[in-house]
A and B are shown apart, each in its own frame.
Chain A
Amino acid sequence: MNLESLALWLGQGFLHDQMVDKFWMFPMMETFHFIGLSFMFGALLVIDGRVLGIGKFISMKEAMKFIPVAIVAFAVNLISGYAFLSSDPATYLYNIGFQWKIGLIVIAGFNALWFWFGEHKQLTQLADGQEAPFTAKIIALGSIVLWVLVIILGRMIPYTDF
């Protein structure tokens, strides 16, 4: 499937119609997207911050409870993000800022899987105040850097439409 037919396929259906017909849909979805990103980034700051040693007296096991917060917030942003995309697929799909943003989200996803399968179990046994292993710190730093870039690229989309 090429970008053109993908654009055609995305630009139809209920959500597309609502986004195009109702003037308040776009601002509402944007608001959800911003609230979602704040919750998600906040949850990541708690988890990754603890791993990196900022606030190392935060119980690591308890910090992991913020993982579901991040996942729910990500789901909100996946839905609202899909709404933007369906409103005008071609503009987004051919936009370099959008392409990089999606690419980085995929990388951040793999980074999260690495965290979950490689480090999660070990980390939950960390005592309060105890340093996390080096690999876990690299993953945590990667997570923060990647999501900051995702936010920047998302905000850049209107200006990277060449």
Chain B
Amino acid sequence: MDLLLWYENGLVGTFIRESIWGYPIVLSSHAVGMATVLGIALMLCLRVLGFARGITVTAFDKLFTVGWVGFAINLVSGIILFAGSASLYFFQWTFQLKIGAILVGGILLKVVMNAVRANKSESTQKLLAAACMLCWLVGVITGRLMAYITA
């Protein structure tokens, strides 16, 4: 708690609360990063689920770089936004679930790619891809609900 308050009352927290354009700009970056990282993750999952089979899953690799750029944008903008009310966000179940879903979704993305490269059975690949997609969607839903459910 001390750490949360220290961060919230520090330079970043003060900036994001007091600067007029600081918050909207960082918030917009968070939306662009989200569209990028989520977009790539969702399209890869769609492909593994059997959509656009003519694309080799490994040809998707290059797009991962783009996805990582989106992730980096959101990690930085997310850490800045978090400073806005760290002591509140940290205890919101929507926030906790969001972070958990993103972590699991990210790991699953790697697991999906490994399963594809290792030529695991199609049903295994599809099951993993569906779980991965679900995690990322839970990440967006809970992220949006953070603004409404403050418990």
Q: List residues of B (39-91) whose CB comes within 8 Å of A's CBs.
A: 39-43, 46, 51-56, 59-63, 65-66
Q: Is B60 touching A63 in the complex (CB atoms < 8 A)?
A: no
Q: Which residues of B contact A128 (CB under 8 A)?
A: 59
Q: Which residues of B contact A49 (CB under 8 A)?
A: 62-63, 66
* Cβ-based interface call for B31 (8 A): yes
- Give the tally of cross-chain contacts (CB within 8 A): 107
Q: Which residues of B contact A59 (CB under 8 A)?
A: 54-55, 59
* Cβ-based interface call for A113 (8 A): no
Given A27-B145, A159-B24: A42 and B140 within 8 A (CB)? Answer: no
**Total interface residues in chain A, CB < 8 Å:** 37
What 0/1 pattern do residues 6 to 33 of A give for CB contact below 8 A with B?
Answer: 0000000000000000000001001100
Q: Which residues of A contact B (CB under 8 A)?
A: 27, 30-31, 34-35, 37-46, 49, 54-59, 61-63, 65-66, 69, 128, 148, 151-152, 154-156, 158-159
Q: Which residues of B contact A (CB under 8 A)?
A: 21, 23-24, 27-28, 31-32, 34-36, 38-43, 46, 51-56, 59-63, 65-66, 137, 140-141, 143-145, 147-148
